[in-house]
Structure 1
Amino acid sequence: MLMVGNLFVFMSFQMLIPTFPPYIKSIGASGLEIGLVTTLFSVGAVISRPFIGYMLEYRGRRPLVIIGAIMLFAVTIIYPLSSVVLFFLLFRLIHGMAWGWSTTVNGTAAVDLVPNSRLGEGMGYYGLSITIGMIIAPSLGIYLYQVTSFTNLIYLSAALGFIAIILLSIIQYQTPEAVKQVNKEELKFSYMGSLIEKSSWYPAFITIVTTFGYGSIVTFIVIFADERGIDQVFLFYLTNAIMASISRPIAGKWFDTRGPIGIVIFCLFITFIGMWVLSFAHHNWTIAAAGILFGIGFGSLIPTLQSWTLSETPPHRRGVANGMYFSSIDLGIGLGGLVFGILAPFVDTGTLFQISSVFLLIAIVMTIVKGKKGKQPQTQASS
């Protein structure tokens, strides 16, 4: 039920993402202001996560999950009022803060429901709700934006968000005993202490390096397809989603039985190959092949890195670790898009993908170094 509820959260959110830039451009935004649509959202998410991570150290899961869903719903329904660029950008900052809250809490609630002995497999299944939402919703949003008004699109998004609130309200949540026993009065808030979980910072840092390289794909794949005359770019997303859905449970079981090092290296290497296949793509079938490789590699890598991060974290600090993990993704993709955007005028997009693939090799080396130190975490059976 949490997977289904989270799917509706992601559907509601992701269907709006590709429509925001053309909408804000239509109301008179400059190029810089269009760029701020993404930047301010990421800033808001990163700002809010330490606070919710701190609250997850002592609060039950149900109210926090429901509040997050309600905040997302509330921000969504006020977008039609944002006919002024400044107000729209302010809403994006607030939306990012609500998104940071919701993704951190929902992910932590999922961890609490999964036995430690099946953490990798369980988070792989949970990640499917994210993958499916991210694949289906943007295409739906683009279609609706083209055939109807932005306001009607907002209303449909809000309707999906309202369904998410209902679904998330009827779940039987579990709060770890260690969290229940925490005395709030003795728990002091530290922004940095709630932003970074020291016990699991290393896999989170690998996540930043990995998503930094992936940031070039997120930012430029549609432009790349236009440059190469590839008219079915959706095949990349479709094959990506199919292979990610198939491979994630397998990768999760690998993680549970053998630990993270081997599966992370494998996924990074497959993603590296996929990035080079994509860089040489000139036909629909080539971009579909790249999507298959990305689905197997990157599609399994992200939940594996999350499971690795959480497996090294004490139960009462998993909320903080989850926030750190999601902030690592936002930071990596955001910085990657910015840096490769600066580099883009000087090289063709295919070469840009090849350059960004170097960061996957760096992540592989970092993982090998961690494995050689003999600090590979071992998941323990749930009591």
Structure 2
Amino acid sequence: MLMFGNLFVFMSFQMLIPTLPPYIKSIGATGLEIGLVTTLFSIGAVLSRPFIGYMLEYKARKSLVLIGAVALLIITMIYPLSQIVFVFLMFRLIHGLAWGWSTTVNGTAAVDIVPNSRLGEGMGYFGLSVTIGMIIAPSLGIFLYQVTSFTNLIIISVILGIIAIVLLSIVRYRTPESVKNTRKEELKFSYFGSLIEKTSWYPAFVTIIATFGYGSIATFIVIFGEERGIDKIFLFYLFNAIMATVSRPIAGKWFDQKGPRGIVLLCTSLTFIGMWVLSYAHSNLFIAVAGMLFGIGFGSLLPTLQSWTLSLTPANRRGVANGMFYSAIDLGIGLGGLVFGVLAQFMETARLFQISSMFLLIVIIVTMLEGRKRKIIKQQTLSS
């Protein structure tokens, strides 16, 4: 039930992702302001997560989940009220605050339910609600944006958000005993301490690099389709969803049996190839192939990195670790949107995709170096 509720949260939100940049462009935004659509949202999400991570150390889950879902619904409803670029961007910042709250709480509620021995598989299944929402909803959003008004797009998003609230209200949540036994007075809030979980910072760092490269796709893929005259850009998201759904459970079991590094290397390599296929796309066929590669690669990469992060974290700090992980995603995509938004003024979108793919090569290199370091430490431990 939590998976379905989270799916509708992501559906309601993600259908706006590819449509807001072209919409704000239509009301007079510059390339930099288009990039800020993603960046300001990400800043809001990152700012809110340490506070909710702190609250998750001592509060039950249900009320926090519902507050997040209702806040997302309200901010979605007020988007059509502004035709001014500056005001629209401020709405994005507020939306980011609510999104940071909701994703952190929902992900932590899922971790509380999944047994530790099946963390990779369980979070892989929960992650399907994230991935399917992230992939199917943009296709729906693009379709509605092309055939109807922006206001009607918002109405559909609001309906999905209401369904999410209904589903999340009937979930049977579980709160760890260590959290139940903790009182607020026993904790000392530190913004930095609730922003970063020291035991699991490395996979979150890798996440920032990977999602920075993805930021160009999230911000400019619809504009790319318009540049190339590709009329079915939604195929990228459709085939992405299909392949992610098929590959995700397999990747989760691989994680539980063999650890994170091998699957991270494979998924990153496939995403890198997919980004180059996309950059050369002039037809719907290439768009579909790129979507398939992204579905297997990036679709399994993020839940693997999340499971890696949580596997290194004590139970009472998993709310903080989840917040750190989601902040890493938003920070990476947000910075990517800003940097590539500036670069978009000087080059075609396909070139942006090729440049951003280099960050996936960095992920491969740092993952291999970390694996080698772990191997050396293990050998030294055994010899001593």
Farther-moved stretch of structure 1 (348-357 vs 122-131): 348-357
Farther-moved stretch of structure 1 (162-171 vs 270-279): 270-279
1:163 Cα offset (Å): 1.4
Query: Aligned pair in 2 of structure 1 residues 363, 33: CA closer, same or farther (>3 Å)?
Result: closer
RMSD: 2.2
Farther-moved stretch of structure 1 (228-237 vs 179-188): 228-237
Query: Aligned pair in 2 of structure 1 residues 66, 264: CA closer, same or farther (>3 Å)?
Result: same
Amino acid at match of 2:48: S
Please tell me whether residue 284 in structure 1 is matched to residue 284 in structure 2.
Answer: yes
Q: In structure 1, list runs of 5 or more residues that go unmatched.
A: 378-383
Map of 1:57 onto structure 2: 57
Percent of pairs with identical residues: 76
Please tell me whether residue 370 in structure 1 is matched to residue 370 in structure 2.
Answer: yes
Amino acid at match of 2:267: C
- Determine the C-alpha separation between the residues in 1 that align with 2:214 and 2:9: 23
Please tell me whether residue 191 in structure 1 is matched to residue 191 in structure 2.
Answer: yes
Map of 1:151 onto structure 2: 151
The CA deviation string for residues 65-119 of structure 1, in whole angstroms up to 9 with x for no partner, is 1111111122222334335544433322221111110011001111111111111
Q: Report the TM-score when normalising by structure 1.
A: 0.91
- Determine the C-alpha separation between the residues in 1 that align with 2:252 and 2:214: 21
- Determine the C-alpha separation between the residues in 1 that align with 2:220 and 2:21: 14
Map of 2:301 onto structure 1: 301
Map of 2:261 onto structure 1: 261
- Determine the C-alpha separation between the residues in 1 that align with 2:371 and 2:264: 11
Secondary structure (helix, strand or coil) at the match of 1:282 reads coil
Residue pair 2:45, 2:100 contacting (<8 A) in 1 also: yes
Farther-moved stretch of structure 1 (291-300 vs 126-135): 126-135
Map of 2:131 onto structure 1: 131
Query: Aligned pair in 2 of structure 1 residues 239, 23: CA closer, same or farther (>3 Å)?
Result: closer
The CA deviation string for residues 318-372 of structure 1, in whole angstroms up to 9 with x for no partner, is 1111111111111111212222333345554444333322211211121112212
Farther-moved stretch of structure 1 (75-84 vs 60-69): 75-84
Q: How many residues are treated as equivalent by the alignment?
A: 376
- Determine the C-alpha separation between the residues in 1 that align with 2:231 and 2:80: 32
> Where does 1:95-114 land on structure 2 (aligned, <5 Å)?
95-114=95-114
- Determine the C-alpha separation between the residues in 2 that align with 1:347 and 1:91: 29
Please tell me whether residue 174 in structure 1 is matched to residue 174 in structure 2.
Answer: yes
Query: Aligned pair in 2 of structure 1 residues 157, 282: CA closer, same or farther (>3 Å)?
Result: closer
1:132 Cα offset (Å): 1.7
Map of 2:40 onto structure 1: 40
- Determine the C-alpha separation between the residues in 2 that align with 1:159 and 1:324: 30
1:33 Cα offset (Å): 4.4
1:15 Cα offset (Å): 2.3
Map of 1:312 onto structure 2: 312
Q: Report the TM-score when normalising by structure 2.
A: 0.91
Secondary structure (helix, strand or coil) at the match of 2:171 reads coil
1:30 Cα offset (Å): 5.6
Query: Aligned pair in 2 of structure 1 residues 310, 213: CA closer, same or farther (>3 Å)?
Result: same
Residue pair 2:136, 2:241 contacting (<8 A) in 1 also: no
Q: In structure 2, list runs of 5 or more residues that go unmatched.
A: 379-384
Secondary structure (helix, strand or coil) at the match of 2:374 reads coil
Amino acid at match of 2:117: S
Amino acid at match of 1:220: F
Please tell me whether residue 341 in structure 1 is matched to residue 344 in structure 2.
Answer: no
